[in-house]
């Protein structure tokens, strides 16, 4: 049907109608509306004023240092960003502890659900990993319950203790739903994990911590101090505390450990792993530590900008802009050309993932993917004058994995008969990445590489300080970073 065309005789302007007050508006409603509009204008003007001040300050003062964080999902980008924030202020997360608390609790619940899904796959292979909660509405931010809520077939003989634990941990489904609501997570933001258990995925433009903190402040939680309302009867932490012993029994159960090994599930290598800290996280008055916040996992999509001002005591008296590109590898390469003006790129390659595959591409080895992404970045002509700093990350997991007998040569054929120890493996991979840069880079550039474990605050901040020293030595020839 053709659309109707408005003529000059039409009495109603749709734009005017849209912004006009309701025809039956009362005096009280008008007063409230005008007050709300004035407040909205005040906030808008304040934002515009701040933007103008920032623009003027940038013109008058030194240019900010722009750093781009790149790497595949779970490479450690967000953790590196948190280290920058902690260098600016050791109490950087104080106001957000209530939101981080909920996220860490959600990480713990997800790990338990991954285990229960693994049990279901082994004893009930034809089952779906997760099923929809019949009591939830389509618009609810609830998540689907784990497969342990599904009955096992009569012919399956599940260990009596595991069967009991499966039933006793059923309340965690409700806990997951409550935590999702507290974090303002909608059903569409949950994605199926490669190994079961659903993972939260949020757009980087969503300030989830700010929304959560303001919401909790209305429930008499202090947004200034980050204190938690321990008297809240709906606090999911109460149920977690009651389930703590059962969660520990499940995690430590010999059959579960054998099952996880059989399914090649190494939860301790996954981001957001807290199963070894159940007692602390489920304690009645749990407050997240900085170490826990560094380990917390929230998958983001898109590009986010973070401003960090490091004073002389923190290593740099300059404004830093840290850009975090989250998402699948295709999104990373899509965004990169828009950052040809950054001063440096920190590229994170999780070398411990040499025996893992990508979640979004299960046939692609994660180390191979890091190598391909590295090659695409160093060969990009738009970035030919940008210094790139390589973080061979997750060295702690790499050391543990190699010492346990997992052989690098079984996954990296070119490694050959070199010793299966960390020093030899790290040296080989370092030379491999350096060779790719030398061969693929459009212009000669210096190879900067650090062996990192970015969940280790002290060592990572030393690395960041050394990067500052590198900038001070004028290694970034096309920037104005001298103080």
Predicted TM-score (pTM) of the model is 0.75
Check whether 28 is labelled as a binding-site residue: no
Residue in the block written with tokens 């959600």: 106
Q: Residue 217: its pLDDT value, please?
A: 47
Check whether 343 is labelled as a binding-site residue: no
Check whether 396 is labelled as a binding-site residue: yes
Q: What is the DSSP letter of 452?
A: -
For 159, 172, 293, the CA distances from 254, given in Å and listed in that order, are 11, 22, 30
Per-residue tokens: 7: 């003529």
Check whether 373 is labelled as a binding-site residue: no
Structural domains of the chain in order of their starting residue, each with its CATH number: 63-92+301-472 (3.40.50.300), 95-287 (no CATH)
Check whether 296 is labelled as a binding-site residue: yes
Q: Which residues, at least 6 apart from 111, have a Cβ–Cβ distance to it below 8 Å? A: 197, 267, 270, 272, 273, 274, 275
Whole-angstrom distance, CA of residue 375 vs CA of residue 377: 5
| Helix, strand or coil, per DSSP, at residue 146 | strand
Question: Do the bridges between strand 299-310 and strand 318-326 make them parallel or antiparallel, or are there none, so unpaired?
Answer: antiparallel
Burial class (CB in 10 A: 0-12, 13-18, 19+), 445: middle
Q: From first to last of its 483 residues, what are the pLDDT tens digits of the chain? A: 444 444 444 455 555 655 677 778 888 888 888 887 887 788 778 777 776 776 676 666 667 888 999 999 889 999 999 999 888 887 778 888 888 999 999 999 999 999 999 998 887 654 444 333 333 333 333 333 444 444 444 444 678 899 999 999 999 999 988 888 777 655 444 455 555 555 666 655 555 555 444 444 444 444 434 566 777 888 899 999 999 999 999 999 999 999 999 988 999 988 889 999 999 999 989 999 999 999 998 887 778 888 888 754 444 467 888 998 876 666 777 777 788 888 899 999 999 999 999 887 889 999 999 999 999 999 999 999 888 999 999 999 999 999 999 999 999 999 999 999 999 999 999 999 999 999 999 999 999 999 999 999 999 989 988 887 776 565 445 444 444
Check whether 297 is labelled as a binding-site residue: yes
Check whether 395 is labelled as a binding-site residue: yes
Check whether 394 is labelled as a binding-site residue: yes
Report residue 444 CA to chain centroid gap: 34
């Amino acid at each position: 049907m053709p659309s109707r065309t408005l003529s000059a005789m039409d009495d109603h302007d749709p734009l005017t109608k849209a912004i006009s007050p309701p025809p039956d508006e009362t005096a009280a409603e008008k007063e409230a509306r005008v007050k709300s509009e004035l407040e909205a204008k005040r906030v808008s003007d304040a934002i515009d004023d701040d933007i103008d001040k920032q623009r003027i300050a940038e013109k008058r003062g030194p240019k900010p240092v722009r750093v781009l964080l790149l790497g595949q999902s779970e490479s450690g980008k967000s953790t590196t960003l948190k280290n920058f924030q902690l260098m600016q202020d050791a109490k950087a997360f104080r106001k957000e502890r209530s939101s981080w608390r909920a996220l860490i609790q959600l990480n713990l619940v997800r790990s338990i659900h991954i285990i229960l899904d693994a049990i279901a796959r082994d004893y009930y292979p034809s089952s779906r990993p997760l099923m929809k909660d019949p009591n939830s509405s389509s618009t609810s931010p609830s998540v689907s319950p784990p497969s342990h809520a599904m009955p096992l077939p009569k012919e399956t003989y599940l260990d009596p203790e595991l069967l009991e634990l499966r039933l006793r941990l059923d309340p965690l489904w409700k806990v997951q739903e409550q935590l999702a609501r507290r974090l303002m997570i909608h059903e569409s933001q949950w994605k199926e994990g490669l190994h079961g258990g659903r993972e939260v995925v949020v757009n980087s433009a969503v300030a989830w911590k700010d929304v959560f903190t303001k919401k909790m402040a209305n429930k008499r939680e202090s947004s200034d101090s980050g204190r938690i309302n321990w008297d809240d009867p709906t606090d999911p932490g109460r149920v977690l505390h009651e389930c703590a012993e059962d969660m520990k029994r499940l995690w430590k159960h010999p059959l579960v450990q054998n099952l996880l090994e059989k399914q090649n599930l190494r939860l301790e290598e996954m981001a957001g792993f807290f199963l070894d800290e159940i007692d602390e996280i489920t304690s009645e008055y749990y407050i997240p530590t900085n170490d826990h916040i560094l380990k917390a996992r929230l998958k983001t999509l898109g590009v986010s900008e973070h401003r960090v001002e490091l004073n002389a005591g923190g290593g740099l008296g300059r404004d830093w802009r840290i850009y975090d590109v989250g998402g699948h590898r295709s999104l990373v390469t899509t965004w990169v050309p828009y950052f040809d003006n950054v001063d440096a790129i920190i590229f994170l390659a999780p070398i411990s993932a040499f025996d893992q595959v990508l979640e979004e591409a299960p046939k692609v080895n994660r180390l191979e993917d890091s190598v391909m992404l590295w090659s695409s970045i160093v060969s990009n002509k738009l970035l030919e004058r940008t210094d790139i700093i390589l973080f061979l990350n997750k060295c702690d997991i790499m050391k543990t994995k190699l010492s346990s007998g997992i052989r690098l040569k079984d996954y990296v054929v070119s490694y050959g008969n070199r010793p299966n120890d960390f020093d030899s493996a790290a040296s080989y991979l370092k030379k491999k990445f350096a060779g790719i840069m030398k061969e693929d880079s459009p212009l000669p550039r210096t190879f900067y590489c650090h062996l990192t474990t970015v969940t280790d605050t002290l060592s990572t901040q030393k690395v960041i300080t050394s990067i500052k020293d590198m900038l001070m030595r004028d290694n970034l020839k096309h920037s104005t970073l001298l103080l």
